Amino acid sequence: MKIAILGSGGREHSLAYTISKSKKIKKIFCLPGNAGTADVAKNIKININNFEEVYKFLKKEEVDLVIIGPEQPLVNGIVDFLEERQIKVFGPNKIASQLEGSKIFTKNLCKKFNIPTADFGVFEKIEDAKNFLKNVNYPIVIKADNLAAGKGVYISKNIKEANIAVEEIFNGKFGKAKNLLIEEFLDGEEMSYFIISDGKTIKNFGTAQDHKRVGEGDTGKNTGGMGAYSPSRLINDELETKILNKIIKPTLKGLDELGTNYKGFLYAGLMIVNGEPYLIEYNVRMGDPECQTILPKLNSDFLEIVEACVDQKLEGIKINWKEKQSLCVVLCSKGYPDNYEKNIKINNFEKLILNENNYLFHAGTEKKENHIVAIGGRVLNFISLSDDLTNARQNIHNNLNKLNWDKGFYRRDIAFKVINK
């Protein structure tokens, strides 16, 4: 089979690497890919938000199946566009993708179907939002309604911080936002819960805990994700039953009532408060870096799973996992998530120890004149599988020391809530 994967991050490298292990693979294209995907696929420079251009390439190369990595093309309706042209594609359609594309869409769905989530208010005008903030309890959560690459969320400790957040969102820091959301702060622990769906059948696809803050001890600015571990320390059978019955299934029922079903990965960002799950937000694709953390544990043929989803045959597929814990640490360019240098050369890749338990997935990298350079804020993902996370973290730190990239930084405390207990 010929497969095309859309995207250029660490998630897409892990998708390409994992699917390359299938015996059915004839060729993989990554649109546009990165320096790492070039090892397992052919990179194609293309604007993935230009659907006509994408379609022409897929048709010309007779691609059998397309996997959509990032959220933007999903929210813009690429699945509908390609399916109308008889191209098989893995991912949710435009209506279903509003679960991520509009936080207000999701909040209204939660309200209608009694899905547990934080109380909230929606504001279209900066003055109304600021007036509301005069009479709330702090801390408070303020969110841009539009896509913000995981960064458009503020936890404001006082009215001064809250007013700055409102101004930044309405002034376009995260793109054009017609509305913003102000919601109560839930005091608990976050967890990422993943399912895969073919529109009829859903199956668990792992749990993880992401580390969004740039600084150790979960301090500093929000980022796209500094690292993760899997499985989450919080997950157990009782909690999983609550997540499925109170959150996932009512959501899919709500979409069904809107006349659509859900195909693809669904990522529920949850807050667990005293053993009870609350929905923070949905993402309509695998998380990044959770994807890089979870996929190395997969013991089944990934292509078979994806094909079964597209063909609505997931019920007959058994998904097997390695009985190991996984840790991912993201190496970033100094200055991230603010300004950072680009086109900085990275050396010493040949010194890294990579094997069936230790992985490297590229994110913001590119090959230039036989060298690999950093072009993004999040640059490389180091992953290790082990029986315990302390050992996994040590394996990763050993590889990071071998790479010895002085223009980068990383959090040394990923999984600190587990390891340091």
Tens-place pLDDT, residues 389-404: 999 999 999 999 999 9
Q: What are all long-range contacts of 168-174, with beta carbons under 8 Å and residues at least 24 apart?
A: 169/142, 169/143, 169/144, 170/126, 170/129, 173/144, 174/144, 174/146, 174/147, 174/148, 174/149
Q: How many domains does the chain contain in total?
A: 4
The mean pLDDT of 200-221, rounded to a whole number, is 95
User: Which of 104-108, 301-305, 340-344 has the least mean pLDDT?
Assistant: 104-108
Domain closes at, from 269, 290, 316: 316
Confidence check: pLDDT of 225 > 60: yes
Same domain, 28 and 141: no
The mean pLDDT of 184-207, rounded to a whole number, is 96
What was the pLDDT predicted at 265?
A: 98
Burial (CB count <10 Å: 0-12, 13-18, 19+), residue 204: middle
Same domain, 272 and 367: no
Share of residues in the chain with pLDDT > 90 (%):
86
Domain closes at, from 285, 316, 347: 316
Residue 220 belongs to some domain of the structure: yes
The mean pLDDT of 305-318, rounded to a whole number, is 97
Same domain, 334 and 303: no
- CA separation for the pair 122, 240 (Å, rounded): 30
User: Closest Cα partner for 262 from 127, 90, 111, 399?
Assistant: 90
Amino acid at residue number 182: I
Residues of the domain holding 346: 325-419
CA dihedral 159, 165, 168, 170 (to 10 degrees): -90
CATH code where residue 9 lies: 3.40.50.20
Confidence class of residue 206 from pLDDT cuts 50, 70 and 90? Answer: very high
Confidence check: pLDDT of 149 > 60: no
Contact 143, 153 (CB under 8 A): yes
Confidence check: pLDDT of 151 > 70: no
Domain closes at, from 141, 156, 178: 178
CATH code where residue 367 lies: 3.90.600.10
Tens-place pLDDT, residues 15-52: 999 999 999 999 999 999 999 999 999 999 999 999 99
Tens-place pLDDT, residues 117-128: 998 888 988 999
Contact 411, 210 (CB under 8 A): no
What the block records as the tokens of 256 is: 């069904």
What was the pLDDT predicted at 172?
A: 78
What was the pLDDT predicted at 175?
A: 65
Confidence check: pLDDT of 421 > 60: no
What was the pLDDT predicted at 337?
A: 94
Beta bridge partners of 121: 182
Q: What does each C-alpha distance from 294 to 104, 105, 195 come to in angstroms?
A: 29, 28, 12
- CA separation for the pair 270, 273 (Å, rounded): 10
Tens-place pLDDT, residues 318-335: 999 999 999 999 999 999
Same domain, 332 and 286: no
Beta bridge partners of 271: 190, 278
User: Closest Cα partner for 292 from 2, 16, 7, 20?
Assistant: 16
Residue 110 belongs to some domain of the structure: no
The mean pLDDT of 67-78, rounded to a whole number, is 96
Q: What is the overall mean pLDDT for the chain?
A: 94
Residue 87 belongs to some domain of the structure: yes
Same domain, 371 and 414: yes
CATH code where residue 149 lies: 3.30.1490.20
Predicted structure pTM score: 0.93
Contact 82, 95 (CB under 8 A): no
Residue 384 belongs to some domain of the structure: yes
Same domain, 211 and 156: no
Residue 101 belongs to some domain of the structure: no
Beta bridge partners of 43: 30
Residue 409 belongs to some domain of the structure: yes
